[in-house]
């Protein structure tokens, strides 16, 4: 059986971090071991959380325990890691895991922030840069803002994006860079679409950037990047020679998951609010810092399981400038 070590956040309620990644990977045939970087009651979309982060000494002890019982993995994924000290521990142990089994794939989601806002302390940025420069990352999945932080480049257009991705390919030896979302300020050629999110893919063996245009679904979802990264690991593992197909498969699955989440969320929210007329449809969405709506729009990770086995070419056509 395929095995993966997942190092990311844990919430008691909801589907972000490991809770968004573990079931889909298990459903797809992966044996998943988890190190929880935080243990929270819920995700931050509710406006408040209870719980705590793992202590550095405990994280180190868990890694050492895995070594003691001779655990080896086909892959490692990492997501939200809340401090520079913990990121450095992750870096050290990824190197150890890859030394013990060089074929181990490391997929890194450098969760630091979005839309110009940091979720972590500034020293985490430098810690991630140190991790990347160790040359152990096979695939990285930053969003627009995170790529700017890692590369030190402001990204407004294709030229900027090429400079940023080339930097990570050349200096950090990262084979595949998947930018999960490019913000509103990014222009592909002369085009800018407020109703569109661009996903971009760059590989070290291909000098060109490839893009997918994804229609925006109006609602606030959390855990999307965590589920994306988990599914990308599986699809890339099955398509190691074709990252574009793997990404397209994941985008296709994610579109179905989000549509289902929105549909079921609206139905349950309408019932909760006792809304029976369609004229109020526009208010039926998950909203940041609004626990009253957010709980209805948690990712439907379980209900969406039938989508995860998708093996087609993908529904999104690559686009150019």
Write out pLDDT tens, residues 162-191.
999 999 999 999 999 999 999 877 887 665
pLDDT of residue 301: 97
- What's the CATH number where 162 sits? 3.40.1190.20
Chain-wide mean pLDDT for the chain? Answer: 91
Higher pLDDT, 268 or 164: 164
Give the residue from 142, 103, 98 showing the smallest Cα distance to 240: 103
pLDDT of residue 288: 60
pLDDT of residue 50: 96
> Does the pLDDT value for residue 145 go beyond 60?
yes
> Does the pLDDT value for residue 222 go beyond 80?
yes
Higher pLDDT, 113 or 277: 113
Distance CA 272, CA 122 (A): 41
Give the residue from 216, 225, 3, 221 showing the smallest Cα distance to 109: 225
What is the residue whose two structure tokens read 């998950």? 286
pTM: 0.93
Higher pLDDT, 31 or 265: 31
Q: Please count the residues of the chain.
A: 321
Higher pLDDT, 189 or 210: 210
Give the residue from 301, 146, 285, 149 showing the smallest Cα distance to 223: 301
Q: Specify the number of domains making up the chain.
A: 1
Share of the chain above pLDDT 90, in %: 76
Strand partners, 191: 188
Distance CA 136, CA 169 (A): 12
As a three-state string, the secondary structure of 122-140 is: CHHHHHHHHHHHCCCCCEE
Packing angle of the helix pair 123-133, 84-100 (nearest 10 deg): 10
In 51-157, alpha helices (H): 56-68, 84-100, 123-133, 144-151
The pLDDT of 57-85, averaged and rounded, is: 97
Q: What residues make up the domain containing 84?
A: 3-319
């Amino acid at each position: 059986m395929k095995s993966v070590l997942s190092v990311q956040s844990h919430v008691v309620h909801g589907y972000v971090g490991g809770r968004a990644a573990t079931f889909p990977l298990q459903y797809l045939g992966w044996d998943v071991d988890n190190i929880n970087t935080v243990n929270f009651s819920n995700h931050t979309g509710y406006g408040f959380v209870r719980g705590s982060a793992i202590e550095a000494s405990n994280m180190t002890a868990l890694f050492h325990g895995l070594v003691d019982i001779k655990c080896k993995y086909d892959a490692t994924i990492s997501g939200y890691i809340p401090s520079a000290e913990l990121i450095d521990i992750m870096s050290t142990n990824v190197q150890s895991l890859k030394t013990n089994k060089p074929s181990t794939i490391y997929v890194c989601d450098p969760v630091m922030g979005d839309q110009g806002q940091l979720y972590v302390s500034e020293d985490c940025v430098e810690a991630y840069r140190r991790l990347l420069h160790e040359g152990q990352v096979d695939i990285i999945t930053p969003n627009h803002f995170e790529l700017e932080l890692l590369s030190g480049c402001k990204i407004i257009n294709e030229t900027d994006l090429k400079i940023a991705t080339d930097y990570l390919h050349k200096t950090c030896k990262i084979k595949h860079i998947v930018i999960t979302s490019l913000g509103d300020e990014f222009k592909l050629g002369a085009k800018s679409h407020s109703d569109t999110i661009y996903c971009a893919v760059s590989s070290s063996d291909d000098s060109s950037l490839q893009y997918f245009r994804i229609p925006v679904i109006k609602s606030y979802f959390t855990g999307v990047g965590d589920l994306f990264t988990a599914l990308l690991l599986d699809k890339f593992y099955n398509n190691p020679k074709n990252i574009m197909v793997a990404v397209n498969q994941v985008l296709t699955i994610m579109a179905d998951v989000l549509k289902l989440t929105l549909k079921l969320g609206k139905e349950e929210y309408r019932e909760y609010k006792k809304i029976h007329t369609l004229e109020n449809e526009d208010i039926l969405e998950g909203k940041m810092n609004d626990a009253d709506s957010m709980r209805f729009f948690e990712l439907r990770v379980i209900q969406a399981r039938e989508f995860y086995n998708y093996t087609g070419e993908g529904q999104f056509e690559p686009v150019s400038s």
